[in-house]
Amino acid sequence: MEIWWMIFGAGVGTYLMRSAGVWVQTERLQLNWLIHLPFAVILVMVVSSIAQFVDSGDRMTTVAAIAATLTVILSSLKSLPLMLCVAIGCIVFGGIVGLG
Amino acid sequence: MQDGWRGAGRALGIIAGFLPIAMSFGAIAAQTGLTNLTTMGMSVWIFAGASQFAAVEGVRQNLPWFSIVLTVLIINLRHVPMSFSAAQRYARFGHWQHLLLCHGLLDETFALESAEPPQSFAYYLGMHTACWVAWICGTWLGCQFGTLLPERWLQFALPSLFLYLLMTALKSRWSRKTVGVIAIGIAIVLLTQSLGATGLLLSMVVVAIAASYKHPGFYAGSR
């Protein structure tokens, strides 16, 4: 029974945080930095997700992460579609890790 | 309806990254001894990857339920500033539509939406629903066949997605000040990495503040 209270409480709390923008009037808070938050989220998620692979302690994983990162950067500079860039990143990473 | 499918199609990159993570979650939850029903209940109702893993770990350690709830909420605290920012994008929708979209507000959907011009409600709903269904299906697959994961082939899907979005944002806004913001971002993420989800939240706020000081018109998402 307790597990259901946990799921219920965690779900309600998470939803209330996700809907904070509905309940709180941000105009009154004068949060100018909020318009830069999308970029901040993207940058932080890029660095943290790649850093996890680089810090994994496994040399092949580190090499694979660096190679896949460079490949995705080049692919996006070539203006390839999103799905293709994701697929290329996965193939390069999975291929190199598989060699180890 | 067509917009809904277009939104769902746009979410394919996220879904590719979601599936192995959701399957891992399902597998770990099953190994911890959670029933399929409670595991699925978490994915349907909480729908927040990292915090669900933490909740399962809390269950494994026999922590009291309110302590697990507190852990989940601390990990998900980053949704508050995201919600403030997304509210500006959803403001033109009705109250109930806005509330409906909130359940699908994740790091991934937030980032993808921010990188695009404003879209219709159906488009956002299609994207959020596709991600939610993928997360639930992935969890179920994990509960059933968790040990057979082809994990390494999909591990880099989400980093690739975020990297693509970052490059798209930078291509049109590259400047010396941008380099400064990126350097601050890399440094703060690496410095706060050991703090886990709290570190991520702190990094996001610091980078957003740094961007607003360094370059007021630097990146304003869909605006």
Residue-wise pLDDT tens digits, B23-45: 878 887 887 889 999 999 999 99
User: What is the Cα–Cα distance from B4 to B127, expressed in whole angstroms?
Assistant: 7
For chain A, the C-alpha Rg in angstroms (whole number) is 20
Residues of chain B with pLDDT below 70 are 146-151, 214-223
A20 vs B214 pLDDT, higher one: A20
Torsion A30-B199-B219-B162 (CA) sign: negative
Scanning B62-91 for CB atoms below 8 A from A yields 64-66, 68-69, 72-73, 76-77, 79-88, 90
User: Is A47 close to B190, i.e. CB distance below 8 A?
Assistant: yes
Buried b (16+ CB within 10 A) or exposed e, A61-94: bebbbebbbebbbebbeeebebbebbbbbbebbb
Q: H or E element: which one contains A7?
A: helix A2-18
Contact A75, A88 (CB under 8 A): yes
pTM score, whole prediction: 0.74
Q: Which of B103, B206, B124, B196 is nearest to A37 (CA)?
A: B206
Contact B50, B197 (CB under 8 A): yes
Scanning B115-154 for CB atoms below 8 A from A yields 115, 152-154
pLDDT of residue B151: 64
**Is residue A83 over pLDDT 90?**
no
Closest residue of chain B to A17, computed from CA coordinates: B80
pLDDT of residue B223: 31
pLDDT band of A29, cuts 50, 70, 90: low
**Is residue A33 over pLDDT 50?**
yes
